[in-house]
Every structure is written in structure tokens, then in C-alpha cells.
Chain A
Amino acid sequence: MRSVRVFLALGLAGAACGGATSTPDDTGDDVPADEWDRRLGDRVVDYNAALRTAALRLTGDLPTLAEIKAVADAGDPAAQKVVYESLLRSYLEGPRFAGQMLRFWRDTMRLGESATMDTAPRFAAQLTVENRGYAELLTATTGTCPTYDGAAGTFAAADCDNGVATAAGVLSNPAVMAQFSSNMAFRRVRWVQETFACTAFPTELTGAQPEGAPAFLSPWPMESIAGTANGGTVDFHDQSAVICANCHTTMNHLAPLFANFDDAGQLQSTIQVKTPLPGNPLALRTDWLPGAEPTAWRFGAPAADLPALGAAMAADPAIAECAVARLWNWALGRGDIVDTLATVPSEVITAQVAAFTGNGMKLKDAIFAVYTSDDFVRF
């Protein structure tokens, strides 16, 4: 979450949202103990309201009269908590939860609602419903295009049929490749970044921005990506308007990994994506990277192929934090973390992230932790 957008959010928050005693320090962070902290402190635990929200999110419907009365009539908050958590578990184990998770992942991934296009959100929903590890979403080698029985809320493993010898979770999913097909595979790269890292490009910026014009702040050498000076047809070294390489040093090290998928998401033996040049010629590897420059997830995290990319991503703490942040925003009814910049500061979800990473990144357990958190049950 340490991204440009968080800097932006915190910077603007410091400027615009300071309370009576809030003052921005040199880093742009607000000093705690202001009107916002007081408002947080004014919230009260309301398990009835929490139940309504949880039921709508986890079952897609209101709680029943019997469920509402069970919480309301339970007695003190401690007793209500017991009933609430019991109902929460029943929601998580019920057949409607599977459908809700399918909808959640469709929305997260921005694709679905057809047998073909549902395969990626279906796999994510299966991992969630079966309380499997989130890493599988990026690393599973088989069973990544499951079938779904909506009535029973169950999934059955099936392989994707798109020519991939060894799958890499949804990173090699045909629906994803088709939905986000574009010139030079950059739309696929952007989808990976925004869906799983929760930030838009540029994402690898180092050092402080000096006075004056934007500067090259990537940890990668400029020459690590292609430009017209080192064999490319697109000048990613250009700095005349903005510093292209601030984004493209990361993007160009990823894009070739997705370049052999055609517009239908089928893996081919040669590069299938085009360049946005006159005549739209097919891209060459040298259009992204010069010579033998290896592909990578991040600077210092090489990834020779999609399974290696999935493994590198799964090992990146930012990916786990992003997963929890997305679950958090969904639970609290907030907008998309990237589209609406609904950022979740790390300190807000520290406990949930620690539990998530310490528990094999199990998704259903993470959902339970979020829906029983102090913030979720306070209004």
C-alpha cells in the first residue's frame, strides 16, 4: 500500500481534513488525536446493524426475522456477539455464500457472467468457499477453471483449455487474457497490478521527488527497458512530456510474460500482441526489453515464466495486504481500492493481515476476521 496514491491520499488528508488539533508533520502524516479520532471513539457496537450488513454481503439478502430477533433478544453485547458470530459462521457455510463470492470476484476482476468469462472469478470463489490459500490464485497449476453448481453452491475442479502446459492460477486464465487483451499486453499487466497489488502504475518509485520537473525514480536502470536507442520501436526512454520509464520499467518487465496469448486467451508459440505503430505490427520481445534482459515481477524479483511470476507475487507482502484490503473495503461498503482510491492504511488492517499471512492466507478465515473486527461491528 505504500504507493503514490497513498502519498496522495495522506497528503491531501493532511491539507484538507485536519481537525481542531490535527497538524500535518513533515511527512504529510496527520498527528493523531483530532476530531476524526473522536468520531471513531463515538461509534457504538451494534450487532443488529452488523448482522444486516453481513447478511447482505455474505448471503445477498436480508437476515430473517428469526435471525434478527435472535441477536436483538440475546441480551447484553457479549451475548449478542456470540449469536452474531454464530450466524456469521452459518452464512459462511451456506450455499448462498458461494454465489456472493462469485459476484465479489467478478466485480474485483471486472469480468464474468458467462460460462467462459466466469472461470477466473469462479476459481477465486472456489478458493474462498473452500477456505484455501490465496496464493493458489496465483500459483495453482491445475484445476484453475472450475465448474460451478449455483443451486448447491459448490465447485468442481477443471483445467483451463487454452494450451497452457502449467497453469499459474488466474495469471494464465483464458478469460483474463481475452478480457484484457491489448497492444503490447499492457492491459493484462495493468489488470495484474491493480487487481493483486491494489495500486495503479507507477508502482516502483524510489527516493524523494526533487524540486522542478518530474524525475526518473524507478529502481531499474533506464536501459533495462527498450527504447529507440537500444533496439525497440517505441521509445520508452522518452522524457519530453513525462517520464515513461517510471511506469514502463515495471510494465515492460512483465508484459512479455503475457504476450503469447491471443485475443481469445489461447496460448500460442509466438507473440500475439501488436504494437500501436502504423500497420499494427506484431510486437517483438525487443520492443519491451533489450537483449537478454529477463522478465520480472519487481526489481530484484525475476520471473522467467508465469508460474515464476505467480510465485514471486505470492511471496510479496504487498499482495497479501492487498487481498485483505479488498476484503475490508467490500465488508465496509467502500469503493474499489484503485478506481476510487479507497485506500486502506496499513495500520487499519494490521491485525487482519498478520492473521491472514500467519494462517496460510486462508480467505474464508480472513472474511470472518474482518466481519468480526471492532470496526465492522461499530456504527
Chain B
Amino acid sequence: MRTSLLLPSLALLALGCTGELATDEPPLPTGNASAGTDNTFDHPDSNIDVWELLDRMKAEGPPRYSARMHACAKLKYDTLGRLLGSRGVDLAATGALSAGKLYRDGDQALGAPNFAARQRESRELTTATASRMFDIFVQAAPEIIAAMPGLPACQIAGQGATMFNADNQCNPDGITCLLGVPATPSHLELCNLAVTRASDVEKGKRIAVASLLAAANTCE
């Protein structure tokens, strides 16, 4: 155990090598792993915080366990766009509060990659990301409800599914197409409750669809 814990200390404390910094270099950013300006070179401070890792492993379990479990990764930015598009959302919409515009303008909040800065896409569902996604889902819901019967992704043998029947009850096939997994009795119950408890039916349908989308897409 001592070996295991001391070896990583080498990695985590690999700070720098002696020499002089170029005099015209800008000040080192906060958190940079360099030590004194007279005795180290600039090394990127990208080592994971050992205490954060410890907390994470308390929650997730040891690697021999966590590596075998599905994680809850944020839906990728591109994937969210295709998912919305295939479920009837106009991603080119220009209305200020349209789902399409919220999506297009929300790339940073949604954790899109920034390859110019050598940053890959974030896989964490942050509060900002979840909030933005729910905003999008709320705005997308009426489009999805209207478009669903004509969507190729929601048809079987040319027959399109609908989210709601003539009695404003949720349809299992509509929920199934919306979520990507077979609708369960719980899905149906939640969906119908959202419709019936809202101040009016249309708002209820919107809340039902947005809530189902948000719950289903918490993880990719």
C-alpha cells in the first residue's frame, strides 16, 4: 500500500525542472503547476485532484467495479441536436425562444468541445447544461407533439405514432419513440398525471413531454 500511495505522489508532484523562465513570458496562470519563477519551467497543471478522486471513488466504487458499470455521461452536443431533429424539432428555427435557436446558441452551456483550445467535450452534466437542456425540451415539446405522426423514426409500417390520443391520454408508442426505450407503466402514469394536473391540457402535454425528455436524457 505504501508503494501504491507514494508512487502517485511522484506523478502528482511532477512540477518542473530547474532553469530560468524567459523574461518576456506572461505571468503564469493561477493553478499552474510551476513553482518559483527562478527555478522551474511552466508545466501544465492537469493532474487530477487526489481528494476529488477519493470522493468520486467513494461514490462510484473501485475501478474493478466502476469500469464494468454504465456511467451517466452527458448527452453529447451533436447527439442532442440529432435527437431533437429526428423527433421533429426544427434546428434551423430563428425565433428567439425556439428550441432550435436555444440549441444552436447553447453550445457552451451544453458542454460542446473546444478543440481550438485542445479541450474535448465535457461528459459531466452540470447545472448549466441540465438547465439549458430543459429549456430546450420545454420549447421543443409542441414541435415534437405536432410532428411525431409524420416522423420516419416514429413509424411502423407507415403508421405514425402519436404522443397523445383523442382523449388527451398519453400513448405508449409515442412515449417509446420519444425516449428510445419501451414505455413502462410508470412512464404512462407520469405522463398522464402531468397532463391532468396542469392548468390546461396544452400546458400539461408540454410539461409531460419535456419532463420525459429531461429524465430520459440525463444520461446518454
Q: Which residues of A contact B (CB under 8 A)?
A: 4-17, 24, 26-28, 30, 36-37, 39-40, 43, 48-49, 51-53, 55-57, 60-66, 68-69, 72, 103, 106-108, 110-113, 117, 179-180, 200-202, 205, 208-209, 211, 214, 217, 233-236, 238, 240-244, 246-248, 276-280, 328-329, 332-336, 339-345, 347-348, 375-376, 379
Given contacts A16-B58, A332-B70, contact A62 B10 (CB under 8 A): no
CA gap between A234 and B42 in the complex, in Å: 13
B126 to chain A, nearest CB (A): 14
Given contacts A10-B4, A13-B62, contact A103 B14 (CB under 8 A): no
B176 lies within 8 A of A332 (CB):
no
B101 to chain A, nearest CB (A): 21
Query: Is B166 engaged at the interface, CB distance under 8 Å to the other chain?
Result: no
Q: List residues 90-142 of chain B with CB under 8 A from any CB of chain A.
A: 113, 115, 118-121, 123-124
Contact with B120, one of A4, A27, A107, A344 (Cβ below 8 angstroms): A107
A65 lies within 8 A of B177 (CB):
yes
- Set of chain B residues within 8 Å of A12, measured between Cβ atoms: 50, 53-54, 57
A72 lies within 8 A of B182 (CB):
yes
A17 lies within 8 A of B115 (CB):
no
A244 lies within 8 A of B9 (CB):
no
- Set of chain B residues within 8 Å of A246, measured between Cβ atoms: 10, 14
Kindly list the 5 A-B residue pairs having the minimum CB-CB distance in the complex, ordered from nearest: A13-B62, A11-B4, A333-B73, A8-B8, A62-B180
- Set of chain A residues within 8 Å of B75, measured between Cβ atoms: 56
Question: Number of B interface residues, CB 8 Å?
Answer: 81
Q: List residues 134-174 of chain B with CB under 8 A from any CB of chain A.
A: 152-156, 161, 173
CA gap between A69 and B73 in the complex, in Å: 25
- Set of chain A residues within 8 Å of B19, measured between Cβ atoms: 233-235, 276-277
- Set of chain B residues within 8 Å of A14, measured between Cβ atoms: 1, 4, 62
- Set of chain A residues within 8 Å of B53, measured between Cβ atoms: 8-9, 12, 341
- Chain A residue at smallest Cβ distance from B79: A60
A301 to chain B, nearest CB (A): 22
- Chain B residue at smallest Cβ distance from A99: B78
CA gap between A347 and B61 in the complex, in Å: 16
- Set of chain A residues within 8 Å of B161, measured between Cβ atoms: 65
A280 lies within 8 A of B57 (CB):
no
